[in-house]
Structure 1
Amino acid sequence: MRKNFGQQTWFYPMPVLIVAAYDEKGNANAMNAAWGSVYDYKKVMICLDESHKTTQNIKVKKAFTISFADAKHVKECDYLGIVSGNEVPNKIEKAGFTVEKSSFVDAPLIKELPMTLECKLIKFDDNGNIIADIVNVSADEKILNDKGKIDPLKLEPISYDGVGHKYLKVSEVVGNAFEDGKAIK
């Protein structure tokens, strides 16, 4: 038997994304965002409210980065979501993070977060969603496997549980994509 909950914004898994951008003076700001996804081939979409400092910075610089929050930095990443850059301009530093400028877009990379998408703004759609090209994906070598590819088990990305208000980490391989289903044929 199923239980009906009505209309909810519950989605699994919901990645915890740290979106960072520079303001007009070159000051970095970052925020925790859960409403983002792949939009199209080599494109992303993020839903950010107009009131966010990061949203305003993206409008100014036409570029931003998306780092994947990881299990090692739960506290720091959560802090970026509960404090506004409009009120605490140095919240990245207060979280204990350091930044460097991306080599591909005019946006900050958070050094401590090991995987980042470097993005160039395409547009804000009619609903205010941010659509962007992924210009580069950068990853710390410590999260690569023996073939030089990103290993999600080493990355330990976290997901937001909107029902229980918890963070969960990816920690186990349970199957092989485009392979396991062949057993049913």
Structure 2
Amino acid sequence: MRKNFGPKEWLYPMPVLIIGTYDENGKPDAMNAAWGSISDDRQIGICLSPTHKTVKNIMSRKAFTVSVGTEKLVKECDYFGVVSANEDPCKFEKSGLHEQKSEFADAPLIQEFPFVLECKLISYDEKSCHLFGEILNISIDDSVLDAEGKVDVKKLAPIAYDPVNKNYLKLGDPAGKAFCIGLELKA
């Protein structure tokens, strides 16, 4: 038996994406966004309401960073989602995190996040809230790489958002080898 819930903003897993921007005065800001994904080879799409200070910053600077939320930084990730820079312009400083200017985009790279996409704005539609950015670079800290230079998901310990139960979930263990396990069903 199945139960119908109607249309909801539920999907699993929902990423925890921390969007970093500079305001018109060069002050760093960050927000938590769960509605985003890779939308092309070098493109990310994120759904952001025009009321966010982050959107104003992106429209002004035409750039942003996207950090992958991690278990180690779950408190800071949540903080960036529950506090608005529109109400508290010092929220980034209060987080205790540190920024450095991205080499590739006019946006802050938050030092504590080990996996960061550096992006420039492609487009933003205020009606649909759809923002698209070109990925100019992906910066990954050595601490989350394995001996072969690949991302070690267990070291990264990315988190996902559970929209039904309002929890953050740690990801990490493989369920099967992609582009391989399904071949067992091929006749």
Give TM-score scaled by structure 2 length. Answer: 0.96
Aligned to 1:18: 18
Question: 2 CA distance for matches of 1:95 and 1:28?
Answer: 11
Matches of 2:145 and 2:67, distance apart in 1 = 16
Deviations 1:144-176 (A, max 9, x none): 011101122211110000000000010211110
What is the rounded CA distance, in whole Å, between the counterparts of 1:175 and 1:153 in structure 2?
15
Q: Distance in 2 between the 1:122 and 1:8 partners?
A: 28
Offset of 1:85 from its aligned partner?
Answer: 0.5
Q: Give the deviation of 1:7 after TM superposition.
A: 1.1
Match of 2:58 in 1: 58
**1:115-154 correspondence runs (5 A):** 115-125=115-125, 127-154=128-155
Q: SS of the residue aligned with 2:66?
A: strand
CA distance in 2, matches of 1:176, 1:115: 22
- How far 1:128 moved relative to its partner? 2.8
33-42 vs 51-60, which deviates more?
A: 33-42
Aligned-pair identity (%): 52
- In the TM superposition, what are the counterparts of 1:1-185 in structure 2 within 5 Å? 1-125=1-125, 127-185=128-186
Per-residue Cα deviation, 1:101-136 (whole angstroms, up to 9, x for no partner): 000110000001110000010111362311110000
> For each residue in 1:30-51, what CA deviation from the matched residue of structure 2 results, as whole angstroms up to 9, or x when unmatched?
0001011111111001111111
RMSD value, Cα: 0.9
Distance 1:142 1:25 in 2: 32
Q: Distance in 1 between matches of 2:176 and 2:155?
A: 17
SS in 2 for 1:153: helix
SS at match of 2:113: coil
Aligned amino acid, residue 173 of structure 1: P
Number of paired residues? 185
AA aligned to 1:152 is V
Which whole-Å CA distance do the structure 2 matches of 1:36 and 1:182 have between them?
30
Structure 1: segments with no counterpart, 5+ residues = none
2: CA distance, partners of 1:66 / 1:22: 13
1:65-88 per-position Cα deviation (integer Å, ceiling 9, x unaligned): 000110001111100110010111
Give the aligned residue type for 2:73. Answer: H
CA distance in 2, matches of 1:109, 1:10: 29
Q: TM-score, normalised by structure 1?
A: 0.97
Give me the whole-angstrom Cα distance separating, in 1, the residues matched to 2:42 and 2:151: 17
Question: What is the rounded CA distance, in whole Å, between the counterparts of 1:90 and 1:36 in structure 2?
Answer: 25
Give the C-alpha shift of residue 8 in structure 1.
1.0
